[in-house]
């Protein structure tokens, strides 16, 4: 599991860079790997998360906004926003990862890389969002809040 933690840290860094700079997705990933090394497993998983979160960010951002009281996506710190995007992508598309693992990893990343309140902020939004996704799935035969149809 250490490789997945490393992959999530890489994902956070690249999503943050994409949010700050006006560069292409593939360029951001290539720039990162030109400067840093990681085992192949971490590289593959981080690429999956980066590409998935970035390419689905409009849908993901809507879900985050719908689950956050008094906070727009634009008002959130870039670190928190990047962590949330990654975690929501995992909720929606990485069915092999238990939601509790996704939640715990996101909270831990927030505590390490965010502000002193990031862990609690991320926990609150993801907990609310996951509750909505789970309830929607229970009532609509695997349809999520985002309109994603599960396998």
Backbone angles phi, psi at 141, to 5 degrees: 50, 60
Which of the two residues, 14 and 2, has the higher pLDDT score? 14
Q: Does domain 2-139 have CATH number 1.10.940.10?
A: yes
Which of the four pLDDT bands, split at 50, 70 and 90, describes residue 138? low
Sorted by where each begins, the domain ranges of the chain are 2-139
Contacts of 124 (CB under 8 A, 6+ apart): 68
**Full DSSP string of 122-151:** HHHHHHHHHHHHHHHHHHTTSB-TTSPBP-
| Range in 24-33, 45-54, 108-117, 134-143 the model is least confident about | 134-143
pLDDT single digits (tens) 44-99: 999 999 999 999 999 999 999 999 988 899 999 999 999 999 999 999 999 999 99
């Amino acid at each position: 599991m250490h490789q997945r933690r490393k992959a999530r840290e890489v994902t956070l860094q690249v999503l943050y860079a994409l949010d700050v700079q006006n560069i292409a997705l593939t360029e951001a990933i290539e720039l990162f790997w030109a400067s840093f090394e990681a085992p192949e497993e971490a590289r593959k998983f981080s690429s999956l998360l980066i590409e998935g979160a970035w390419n689905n960010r409009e849908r993901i951002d809507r879900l985050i906004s719908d689950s956050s009281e008094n906070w727009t996506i634009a008002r959130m710190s870039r670190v928190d926003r990047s962590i949330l995007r990654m975690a929501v992508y995992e909720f929606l598309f990485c069915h092999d990862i238990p939601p509790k693992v996704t939640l715990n990893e996101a909270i831990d990343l927030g505590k390490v890389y965010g502000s002193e309140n990031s862990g609690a902020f991320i926990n609150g939004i993801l907990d609310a969002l996951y509750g909505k996704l789970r309830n929607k799935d229970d009532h609509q035969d695997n349809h999520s809040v985002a309109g994603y149809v599960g396998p």
